[in-house]
Structure 1
Amino acid sequence: MKRLFVFAAMMIAGLSVFGQSTGAKNEWRIRLRGVGVVPQESAKIGVIGGDAAISNSFIPELDFTYFFNKHFAAELILGTTRHKVSTTASNLTAIGGAASANVDLGKVWLLPPTLTFQYHLPVGKFNPYVGAGINYTIFYGVDEGPVVKGLDYKNKFAFAAQLGADYDISKKMFINVDVKKLFLSTDVTVDASNLTPTSSPQLSSTLANLPADVKINPWLIGVGIGYKF
């Protein structure tokens, strides 16, 4: 978490220095949003097959936007979210289970700092914008749940797309609506060796390193309030 704030401070300072070096107007905007995180998940799971189910979440999100001029800006988005994870319709007959079963894989926290570059088209008090950029998602605080022995999520880079609008309610304050899409996937390794009988060491070895390619691809739908300075 400390490294995230150091990264954020460096990015914000870098944007400010760049803007000053180009003679741009130094305008910042800070927003606090309430964001609904809605994954569009799918998965390829080794051996047991099935798909993934990842819960929706609602979180606070803080972002900082630096304007190079009235049309071009960069935004750094900070927030963290927790999700319940499970497999669906997995075949557990090899370990004496059902042919189509859901497996509770507990919960995991995602920390997805995202940097987007935006084009703004202000018209009076209304300022719509589009953006695109990069995301790096850190998986932490893994709770593997009551079934399997362990889980490992690989941190990943992803592409981000954005559409939103600000509406001025005073000279300094504005309201914001924002929609982002993260094209995020991760490699997951599941250790389910605890579920195999002791008489099947080969199966136990296979289930100790059960791979899954999981696409999360969440929508982030936010509404909030901001301040210009």
Structure 2
Amino acid sequence: MRKLTLLAALAAATAFTAPAHAGDPNGKLQVKLLGTGVLVDGEITEVRNDPLALTPGAQTDINNNVIPTVAIEYYATPSVSVETICCLTQHHASGVGALEGAALIDHIMILPATVTLKYHLNAGPVKPYVGVGPSVFFFIDEKPGATAAALGVDRVKLSNKVGFALQAGLDIPVNDTGLGISVDGKKYFMDTVAHFEAGGTEVLTTEHKLDPWVVSAGVYYRF
């Protein structure tokens, strides 16, 4: 996955350093390099299995993160495009309420595979758009947090889930060679199930609402 991210970033960097005449403000392809804030919820919405009664009065929270992302977009028509993103974001889950300060899950790596169908409005030099599309969150290499490990948990797994994203943003050209500034926001609707195991026995199973806001800003190059 990291190799894929590096290759996408290299391709985007190559595009940005290409001669100016290669750019086209009406081209079919567009690449964005963005700084992205991932603002996650993480609260428990259902307790499916809790034989040790660990959850009464307890809640969970997942930290926010800021990461670089690459977006690649294909324009089928001047008004309709399809976009996908490439990024990995890392988080951890902590307890609140009765579990205040507890380190529950470390190293939650998420690959948010997302494709959106976008409609671009004709508003003169500024190019607003809206979009919608499916998403799958792939969870990679989760580990028990220090508190969970101290209680005997030796394995944590978050289930990969299918959800969807709503999107809105602005592309603002800065010249006539395909270069511009982009501001983008996505609201994901996504949940996951956390499985906590100790010695091969599942000791806690909880469903969590993720529903992150993903907000980005950066530059694009269209060609």
**What's the TM-score once normalised by structure 1's chain length?**
0.76
Shift of 1:2: 8.1
- Corresponding residue of 1:20: none
* Counterpart check, 1:87 vs 2:87: no
The CA deviation string for residues 66-119 of structure 1, in whole angstroms up to 9 with x for no partner, is 1111111111111110012122224xxxxxxxxx54421222110102100011
- Rounded to whole Å, the distance in 2 between the matches of 1:26 and 1:61 is 21
Letter in 2 for 1:111: L
* Counterpart check, 1:28 vs 2:33: no
The question of whether the paired residues in 1 share the 8 Å contact of 2:110 and 2:137 is answered with yes
Alignment of 1:131-210 (within 5 A): 131-148=131-148, 149-171=154-176, 172-191=178-197, 193=198, 208-210=202-204
* Counterpart check, 1:227 vs 2:221: yes
The question of whether the paired residues in 1 share the 8 Å contact of 2:118 and 2:132 is answered with yes
Shift of 1:190: 1.1
Letter in 2 for 1:174: G
SS in 2 for 1:113: strand
- Rounded to whole Å, the distance in 1 between the matches of 2:102 and 2:169 is 37
- Corresponding residue of 1:128: 128
Shift of 1:181: 0.8
- Corresponding residue of 1:103: 102
- Rounded to whole Å, the distance in 2 between the matches of 1:116 and 1:186 is 21
- Rounded to whole Å, the distance in 2 between the matches of 1:41 and 1:3 is 28
The question of whether the paired residues in 2 share the 8 Å contact of 1:76 and 1:116 is answered with yes
- Rounded to whole Å, the distance in 2 between the matches of 1:79 and 1:2 is 9
- Rounded to whole Å, the distance in 1 between the matches of 2:54 and 2:101 is 11
Paired residue total? 190
SS in 1 for 2:110: strand
- Rounded to whole Å, the distance in 1 between the matches of 2:27 and 2:80 is 12
Letter in 2 for 1:41: G
Unaligned runs of 5+ in 2: 9-25, 149-153
* Structure whose alpha-carbon radius of gyration is higher: 1
Alignment of 1:40-119 (within 5 A): 40-43=41-44, 44-45=46-47, 46=50, 47-49=53-55, 50-90=58-98, 100-105=99-104, 106-119=106-119
The CA deviation string for residues 163-185 of structure 1, in whole angstroms up to 9 with x for no partner, is 00100001210100000011110
- Rounded to whole Å, the distance in 1 between the matches of 2:65 and 2:155 is 23
- Rounded to whole Å, the distance in 2 between the matches of 1:2 and 1:173 is 27
- Corresponding residue of 1:37: 38
Letter in 1 for 2:221: Y
- Rounded to whole Å, the distance in 2 between the matches of 1:216 and 1:164 is 22
Percent of residue pairs bearing the same amino acid type: 28
Ranges of 4+ aligned residues in structure 1 off by more than 4 Å: 2-5
Shift of 1:26: 5.8
- Higher helix proportion: 1
| Residues 101 and 121 (structure 1), Cα distance of their counterparts in 2 relative to 1, 3 Å cut | closer
Q: Which has the higher contact order (CA 8 A, sep 6+)?
A: 2
The CA deviation string for residues 126-165 of structure 1, in whole angstroms up to 9 with x for no partner, is 1000000011111012222223222111111111100001
| Residues 53 and 79 (structure 1), Cα distance of their counterparts in 2 relative to 1, 3 Å cut | same
**What's the TM-score once normalised by structure 2's chain length?**
0.78
